[in-house]
Amino acid sequence: MTILIAGGGIAGLTLGLTLHQIGVPFHIYESTPEIRPMGVGINLQPNAVRELLDLGLANALDSIGVKTRQYGFYSKLGKTIWEEPRGTWAGYAWPQYSVHRGAFQMMLYHALIDRAGPDCLSTGARAKGFESTDKGAALLLTDGRRIEGDLIVAADGIHSALRAQIAPNEGPPIWNGRILWRGTTRAKAFLGGAAMVMIGHDQLRLVAYPISEPDENDNVTLNWIAEKRFDPSSAWKREDWNRAADINDFLPEFSNWKFNWIDVPALIKGAEVVYEYPMVDRDPLDRWTHGNVTLMGDAAHPTYPVGSNGAGQAIIDARIIGARLLDHGITAAALQAFEDEVRPIATRVGRANRAGDGPDGVLQQVEDLCGGDFEDINSVIPLDDLAAHAAKYKSLAGFSIEELNAKPPIIAKGAKIT
Ligand SMILES: Cc1cc2nc3c(=O)[nH]c(=O)nc-3n(C[C@H](O)[C@H](O)[C@H](O)COP(=O)(O)OP(=O)(O)OC[C@H]3O[C@@H](n4cnc5c(N)ncnc54)[C@H](O)[C@@H]3O)c2cc1C
């Protein structure tokens, strides 16, 4: 009885760790020639951190991540719209972490290899599709191999080959006109450290947060994302979706963003590395599961990275697949039960992110109401409304404080498949 997993990113590796924990044989097929630390910063919300702790990764996670203490929105003039504590400071039983995606992926990879052995994952193995078989399903690789298993889980990201087979007319991801430039810079932390900030409005914004602890000189690695909106019908380098970028393409737009707590132009100029990425998502599918095959992570629900929970959703998917396998055995029914539970939530989150109903929606509201200039934010938007908006998204995305703290674990300690 084997589960074949296409893709060894955050979703695929967490599923591998979960299957090993509950005693289900599996094999991961990853397209890259070797697992390398790719990307820049990501955030892991308390609901996802809880699952990583349940996987016995507390120390490993703590050694690579920063416990996020505070999260806030600021106008283009640097004025505070909304600040809230995060993680345990907010009352969650688990912290929120900001981490380098590559370091996190390597941590998952090493934990998996240590526990399940090096033979559980093949690199240089690109999936191109699947076939149903009498006993389960076969994964087809581009090198001509056909591997039979009981179930297949597609964790092959936003450009998923298996999703393309399930939804052949879907085409490429949908660009909304925004370009993100993602970078890291060694600099002094701001607002007391371990703070995540979003500054600006829908046309121009900057997100920044530390992904390392301070060194002896109080310097941290700051992860930042500069974002600008273009006309979606323009041909702005649409063909290049993940490439090294030139800061002169966007630095002039931020030249006045020097506040007494953060110097945005200096942050951008000090970058060690900058990548360009268009803000893309896909329309929700009305099915993820086809017999013995299902989708998870970005292959199932690629969404705009505005709610800091894309990687977290991939982790939760892995854990719910594990839980439903415990309920239903290694069967198509387990995959369908996973989809029935997660797809409606993922569809709502994706739609909210697209509609500007994500937590960052307040930035544009303040820009519209007062151009970002105010003495007392309460006279622009009542603080109660800001608090209600922040709480609504957490509930939608599955990390409301009270609900999460009260929830039993997704997978009970010591649970094994029989
Ligand atoms: C190189 C890279 C850099 C990223 N950088 C960032 C970042 O800086 N910030 C951020 O917020 N998000 C980033 N992401 C996206 C983020 O990791 C995901 O949104 C989220 O973690 C969900 O994880 P996932 O495992 O579903 O998808 P991903 O993390 O995208 O993982 C998909 C995996 O599948 C592999 N794969 C793709 N096609 C195939 C195939 N046909 N067969 C087999 N394997 C395949 C990929 O190589 C990858 O390892 C990045 C993703 C990648 C692949």
| Closest residue to atom 41 of ligand 1, CA basis | 127
| Closest residue to atom 37 of ligand 1, CA basis | 156
Ligand 1 atom having least distance to the Cα of 302: 19
List, for residues 289-302, the tens digit of each pLDDT value.
Answer: 999 999 999 999 99
| pLDDT on residue 277 | 86
104 lines ligand 1 (CB under 6 A): no
Phi-psi region of 174 (alpha: psi -120 to 50; beta: other; left: phi over 0): beta
44 lines ligand 1 (CB under 6 A): no
Distance 157 CA to ligand 1 centre (A): 5
156 lines ligand 1 (CB under 6 A): yes
What does pLDDT average to over the chain?
A: 93
Query: Ligand 1 pocket: which of 156, 241, 301, 313 to mutate (most atoms <8 Å of CB)?
Result: 156
Query: Per-residue confidence at 398, pLDDT binned at 50, 70, 90?
Result: confident
Q: Which tokens hold the place of 407?
A: 């929830």
6 lines ligand 1 (CB under 6 A): yes
| pLDDT on residue 241 | 53
Query: Ligand 1 pocket: which of 10, 147, 163, 319 to mutate (most atoms <8 Å of CB)?
Result: 10
| pLDDT on residue 230 | 84
Select from 189, 200, 186, 182 the least CA-distant residue to 72: 200
Q: Which residues contact 258 (CB under 8 A, 6 or more apart)?
A: 264, 265, 266
**Residue pair 162/131 in contact by the 8 Å Cβ criterion:** no
127 lines ligand 1 (CB under 6 A): yes
In the predicted structure, residue 132 carries a pLDDT above the cut 80 = yes
32 lines ligand 1 (CB under 6 A): yes
In the predicted structure, residue 232 carries a pLDDT above the cut 90 = no
Distance 12 CA to ligand 1 centre (A): 10
Which residue carries 């390392």 as its tokens? 212
Ligand 1 atom having least distance to the Cα of 42: 11
Helix, strand, or coil here: 135?
coil
Length of the chain: 418
Ligand 1 atom having least distance to the Cα of 6: 43
Distance 263 CA to ligand 1 centre (A): 31
How much is the average pLDDT of 26-47?
93
Q: How far apart are CA 270 and CA 149, in angstroms?
A: 49
Distance 339 CA to ligand 1 centre (A): 20
195 lines ligand 1 (CB under 6 A): no
In the predicted structure, residue 397 carries a pLDDT above the cut 80 = no
298 lines ligand 1 (CB under 6 A): yes
80 class by beta-carbon count within 10 Å (0-12 exposed, 13-18 middle, 19+ buried): middle
Helix, strand, or coil here: 273?
strand
| pLDDT on residue 400 | 87
| pLDDT on residue 235 | 65
318 lines ligand 1 (CB under 6 A): no
**Residue pair 66/130 in contact by the 8 Å Cβ criterion:** no
Distance 200 CA to ligand 1 centre (A): 28
**Residue pair 321/335 in contact by the 8 Å Cβ criterion:** yes
Q: How far apart are CA 3 and CA 21, in angstroms?
A: 14
Distance 197 CA to ligand 1 centre (A): 24
Which residue carries 């240590």 as its tokens? 114
How much is the average pLDDT of 325-330?
98
| pLDDT on residue 148 | 97
Q: How far apart are CA 187 and CA 311, in angstroms?
A: 26
| pLDDT on residue 239 | 44
123 lines ligand 1 (CB under 6 A): no
**Residue pair 230/219 in contact by the 8 Å Cβ criterion:** no
30 lines ligand 1 (CB under 6 A): yes
| Closest residue to atom 35 of ligand 1, CA basis | 7
